[in-house]
Amino acid sequence: MSSPLGLYQPGNSPLHRAPAGGKLLGLLVFATVVMLFDEPVPLAVAAGAVLAGFVTARIRPARVLRMTGTLLVVLGAIFALQSWLLDPKSASVVCLRLLTAISAANLFTLTTRIDDLVSAVERGLAPTRRLGLRPETLGLLVGLTVQAVGVLASIAAQTREAQRARDASRSVSAFAVPFLIRTLRHADELGEALAARGVGDAREEHSEPRRD
């Protein structure tokens, strides 16, 4: 079961054992390269590489489908719109870029503990402490930003499944309202988890009024 701070799936695959910092850097480079591709074939190869990553990490197919099901529906709508406004090839490029980049972020989320990610970012940003910044806060921000991709995808997939169970697949409100409620609930749980970690304590100490 996922926690408020991520969707990590325990495992012992090479991707699980790889250093969090190296994986984050690899994700950033990979996503950048994907956005530079403007042909469907290399993008399809990149998508295949991400799929191979899911297999290597031994992520259950059912979980992959839950995380990407709603995304595929959205991409279908984007493809139709882009094909109408531009052409099918341009639409394919846009959709493959989004599918590959978001799936790579999901794979990173599933194979990386957020604590490991935060620690790696803290070490990398340690010199910023001289500028008055807090590397631990920056690390947590980066970690939560990356994790948010998988979390929102999971919430959307669960909402979509519930919508189908109620036989309301064509109702926009039947998806939008529960999705918003679950997202706000997750944000509330996340706030409680961060409070438990002491995030914000230092800011509150500095914001206390001075006593004469």
CA 146 to CA 157: how far, in whole Å?
18
Contacts for 10-17: CB closer than 8 Å, 24+ residues apart: 11/57, 11/58, 11/111, 13/56, 13/57, 13/58, 13/111, 14/56, 15/53, 15/56, 15/57, 15/107, 15/111, 16/57, 16/111
Highest mean pLDDT among 28-32, 66-70, 156-160, 202-206: 28-32
Q: What is the pLDDT at residue 171?
A: 65
Asked if residue 24 belongs to a domain, the reply is yes
Residue 32 domain boundaries: 14-201
Q: Is residue 30 assigned to a domain?
A: yes
Sequence-distant (≥ 6) Cβ neighbours of residue 6 within 8 angstroms: 109, 113, 114, 143, 147, 150, 151
Residue 178 in any domain: the answer is yes
Residues 18 and 57: their CA atoms lie apart, in Å, by: 11
Would you state the pLDDT for residue 149? 63
Closest listed residue to residue 120, CA positions, set 204, 23, 6: 23
Residue 87 included in any domain: yes
Q: What is the pLDDT at residue 146?
A: 65
Looking at per-residue pLDDT, the higher value among 88 and 143 belongs to 88
Average pLDDT over every residue of 165-182: 72
How far, in Å, CA of 98 to CA of 161, rounded? 22
Q: In this structure, is residue 134 part of a structural domain?
A: yes
Give the per-residue pLDDT at 48: 94
Residue 1 lies in a domain: no
The per-residue pLDDT for 13 is: 92
Quote the percentage of the chain above a pLDDT of 90: 21
Question: What was the pLDDT predicted at 2?
Answer: 40
User: How many domains, in total, are found in the chain?
Assistant: 1
User: Which backbone phi and psi does 159 adopt, to 5 degrees?
Assistant: -65, -40
Answer yes or no: is 9 within a domain.
Answer: no
Query: In the prediction, which pLDDT does 183 show?
Result: 74
Q: Is residue 183 part of a domain?
A: yes
